[in-house]
Structure 1
Amino acid sequence: MKFWKILFLNILIMGTMISISSISWLSMWMGLEINLMAFIPLLINFKSIYSAESALKYFISQTLGSLILLFSMILNMIIFEYMIFSKSMILLINSALLLKMGAAPFHFWFPEIIEGLNWINILILLTWQKIAPMILLMYNLKLINFISTIIISSIIISTISSFNQISIRKILVFSSINHIGWMLSAMIFNQSIWLIYLMIYSLMTFLMIFMFYKMNCYFFNHLFLIFSKNKIIQILFFLNFFSLGGLPPFIGFFPKWITSNELMNNNFFIIFILIFFNLIMLYIYIRLMHNSILLKNYSIKNNFYSNNILLLISNLFFILLTPLIVSYF
């Protein structure tokens, strides 16, 4: 990796750490801006004209969120002369943070930029870039009805948008928005559960993106052709998508299981929406797998033999880990 990429990656991590460890909202805002300024150069790939467009769209959307956040802080200080926020200011701050993390209906920028990014940047965007906005939202989680509306919107919109997608990157984006709804649900009632959820989701996303990165594969039609050449990759794909959909006994089932247990005692309506649309999302994943099984008579050059065993062992490890965790709890 080039030196300048390592430098900006360290600055990006530092910006997140500043945000989540600050005690003043101004310092939190500064940390978010440092994170943004470090991530923009990482998004730009001089070999692709689409990366510059994606970087510009990401910059505009994140700047809009930062402006709303800064405006609400300044306006609150002018009106009330102290940093105890009114409900209207909390609404603005929460909206800005939800915009930054890409929760529906503030997700308009998310699918637009993803097609111009490589797999490394997608991994950072889907995992690390969610940490700071979510923790700041956790600090200011007071408008439960508003957050509940965001949860339902994220679940429904992401599920409907996932139908008939041929882009792997867009499927992962809408899956990410879906998981944001689950994480916000966990955050409302038990703030330790959402951290477990984020960690497991990040691990699942890493495994999937690492597989697609090694194959240099961005669309399902390309992926299905590779399946006909290498059945181990097909098995890995099935395992990862079953886990991402939360099907037991895969590791992705565990965070949804503990979140559902918590919500059963607090909000039955939200858990009904979550489970119902999660079943629809599982149907979408299974339909993709069914289409891949039907394609058997094609061939394509495959450059992904050396990492098959490593990925298979890592996936099986996380599958076997789930029953152990469940039995512990």
Structure 2
Amino acid sequence: MHKFYKLLFFLSTLISTLISISSNSWLISWIGLEINLLSIMPLMKLSNNKFSSETMIKYFIIQSLSSMLLLFTILTSMNSFFFFMYNSQMIFYMMSISLLMKMGAAPFHFWFPEVMSNLKWNIFYLILTWQKISPFILLSYLNYKIEFLVIFIILSAFTGSILGLNMLCIRKLLSYSSINHISWMLISLLNYKIWLFYFLTYSIMNFFIIIYLMKFNIYYMNQSNFMLNNNYMNLLFSLNLLSLGGLPPFIGFFPKWITINLLINNNLFYLSILMIMSTLINLFFYIRLIIPLMLLNNSFFSSMKFNKMNMNLYFIILMNLTFLFSLMIYTILFLIIT
């Protein structure tokens, strides 16, 4: 019965997102967002984590505040008297702020790391990826102006990079990393295809990282020593983190590359320099996490053993390696599609 409820609420979470992004009415999109909120909250509560109730309440309060602002803006735009008082520019600003709060972009990020730090890895991944689809797609439906959003892009880029430097909790570290990636995805909304490529790449990279963290039950940086007995896991986990940081020749470099190209084509040279600087800071705390796995183990390449791993893990490793080094194939496919 417990598994049935999980499946029911999980399907409701997926369907409500599709309702939000496929509707031709802002009111129906808001209803989809509310169904989504009411569906994911039981998934947080169904876990055995003792902090699940506190996390659920925090998430509910923030999402409710952003939904109230969104609903107020929708009703204001529908009323001709209030629409005359508040021009369309103000409507765009208010709706953008409500959606930025929902996705956890800076300076509305204050709730995001605290909520994420108390979640199980499966719900953590769901909020990190799937829950961001509706706010991004709805934001793209507005009269998108990067001139207004540039301050949020810069704040998200440097907030996610600088605040992540001091984190020992891996869930908080990945949360601040997500805030940094939100800034890149906000830029890529200038071209919907680039946003889709960026989001899919980001989701798959996080999938493999979280799979390894779940297998070894690691939540803090000082627990990473438990992975020292499995050198293949160390290597793949490290490569995935470098890919998430956008280091070539890994696949994570590709979406950042095309996003920087998009900025240059739109004459936003200063913004591209700032984004590259924030990514370098991100790479620093990824490398800090990798050092205990790679450098503190003297026999890294001399004691690799496959016989301790089952066939499912072989398959995950093969998929991961194929994904990590598919930069050339991915580039060709993107050029064909565009």
Q: What TM-score does the superposition give when structure 1 sets the normalisation length?
A: 0.92
**RMSD, aligned CA:** 1.9
Deviation at 1:288, TM superposition (A): 2.2
Deviations 1:291-324 (A, max 9, x none): 4335449xxxxxx943542332122101221122
Is 2:328 the partner of 1:319? no
**Alignment partner of 1:160 out of 162, 165, 168:** 162
Counterpart CA distance in 1 for 2:95 and 2:126 is 23
8 Å CA contact retained: 1:249, 1:323:
no
Is 2:191 the partner of 1:190? yes
SS in 1 for 2:155: helix
Is 2:207 the partner of 1:206? yes
SS in 2 for 1:228: helix
Alignment correspondent of 1:301: none
Deviations 1:222-244 (A, max 9, x none): 11x12321111110111110110
Alignment correspondent of 1:37: 38
Identity %: 44
Alignment correspondent of 1:75: 76
Counterpart CA distance in 2 for 1:141 and 1:291 is 47
8 Å CA contact retained: 1:45, 1:52:
no
8 Å CA contact retained: 1:166, 1:219:
yes
Deviations 1:12-57 (A, max 9, x none): 1111011001011100000000000000000114532201111110
Counterpart CA distance in 1 for 2:207 and 2:20 is 24
Which stretch of the first structure deviates more once superposed, 104-113 or 314-323? Answer: 314-323
Q: 1:17 to 1:85 in 2, by over 3 A?
A: farther
SS in 1 for 2:325: helix
Deviation at 1:74, TM superposition (A): 1.6
Q: How does 1:48-87 map to 2 (within 5 A)?
A: 48-80=49-81, 86-87=88-89
Tell me the amino acid that sits aligned with residue 164 of structure 2. S
Aligned length in residues: 321
SS in 1 for 2:166: coil
Tell me the amino acid that sits aligned with residue 318 of structure 1. F
Alignment correspondent of 1:26: 27
Alignment correspondent of 1:130: 132
Alignment correspondent of 1:239: 239
Alignment correspondent of 2:257: 257
Counterpart CA distance in 1 for 2:288 and 2:48 is 35
Deviation at 1:80, TM superposition (A): 4.1
Tell me the amino acid that sits aligned with residue 228 of structure 2. S
8 Å CA contact retained: 2:235, 2:294:
no
Alignment correspondent of 2:269: 268
Deviations 1:203-229 (A, max 9, x none): 111111111112211111111x12321
Alignment correspondent of 1:300: none
Counterpart CA distance in 2 for 1:78 and 1:140 is 18
Which stretch of the first structure deviates more once superposed, 172-181 or 45-54? Answer: 45-54
Tell me the amino acid that sits aligned with residue 320 of structure 1. F
Alignment correspondent of 2:5: 4
Which stretch of the first structure deviates more once superposed, 53-62 or 38-47? Answer: 38-47
Deviation at 1:105, TM superposition (A): 0.8
8 Å CA contact retained: 1:104, 1:177:
yes
Alignment correspondent of 2:227: 227
Alignment correspondent of 2:172: 170
Tell me the amino acid that sits aligned with residue 241 of structure 1. L
Counterpart CA distance in 1 for 2:81 and 2:89 is 12
SS in 1 for 2:51: helix
Deviations 1:278-301 (A, max 9, x none): 11211221222224335449xxxx
Q: 1:327 to 1:192 in 2, by over 3 A?
A: closer
8 Å CA contact retained: 2:251, 2:326:
yes
Is 2:151 the partner of 1:146? no
Counterpart CA distance in 2 for 1:46 and 1:209 is 17
Counterpart CA distance in 2 for 1:56 and 1:26 is 25
Counterpart CA distance in 1 for 2:143 and 2:160 is 23
Tell me the amino acid that sits aligned with residue 5 of structure 1. K
8 Å CA contact retained: 2:240, 2:324:
no
Tell me the amino acid that sits aligned with residue 130 of structure 1. K
8 Å CA contact retained: 2:59, 2:111:
yes
Tell me the amino acid that sits aligned with residue 196 of structure 1. F
8 Å CA contact retained: 1:236, 1:311:
no
SS in 1 for 2:79: helix
SS in 1 for 2:165: coil
8 Å CA contact retained: 2:185, 2:198:
yes
Counterpart CA distance in 2 for 1:277 and 1:61 is 27
Which stretch of the first structure deviates more once superposed, 193-202 or 74-83? Answer: 74-83
Q: What TM-score does the superposition give when structure 2 sets the normalisation length?
A: 0.90
8 Å CA contact retained: 2:49, 2:119:
no
The gaps in structure 2 that reach 5 residues or longer are 299-307
